[in-house]
Structure 1
């Protein structure tokens, strides 16, 4: 299964997503601020990132920009999961390279389905290239 990085400053959200993903067989790594996300990405390359927009130290949007502009990690799918639901927030994240955008409160099964879709898409793209 996949290794998924959850980046959110709300421990309850992290625990909820971790429980659901681990029950599906995935491995979960978590970070509660943008600086920790970048530190993790310096050590490992997860298969997907679930990223909150509003996090301490370095915002989720800045993390997204860094990820999408860094060779070796720019192809990691990123699903934004955030309370920011304004049109400008959604458009800015998608324009910055987010692969999907989901707002809080969210339905856990919907998030799992969106994660599965992104992982399948990445797998298809990798097998088409290789």
Structure 2
């Protein structure tokens, strides 16, 4: 099968655009890991000595689940030249999609709702209404 010069040009531009997008995503992921590494000492000093409560659990979920999702995203979405059997890919995809992504998104939304509640200075009954609305949707 021979390609016309127009089809070759279109294929080259698609591949070039795909590579540019991949490099941009990799740059953002690198910046995220850099930010995490530079704030790790402060986190260890401030958050780790505290007792385990809901605030600490939400903070740690919002701190570490994006990092784990970033690793899974790189393994599944980029060319990493690692040979994985299909069963491992399926398990990774299910873990990423079902567990990590849902927990990560839910913890971020829950944190946002708690911040809105705190900023409004609302009573606990309003927090219960906000949470019920969130859980219904």
TM-score band, normalised by the shorter chain?
A: under 0.3
Larger radius of gyration: 2
Considering fraction of residues, name the structure with more strand: 1
Task: Give the TM-score taking structure 1 as reference length.
Answer: 0.28
Write 1 or 2 for the structure with the bigger share of helix.
2
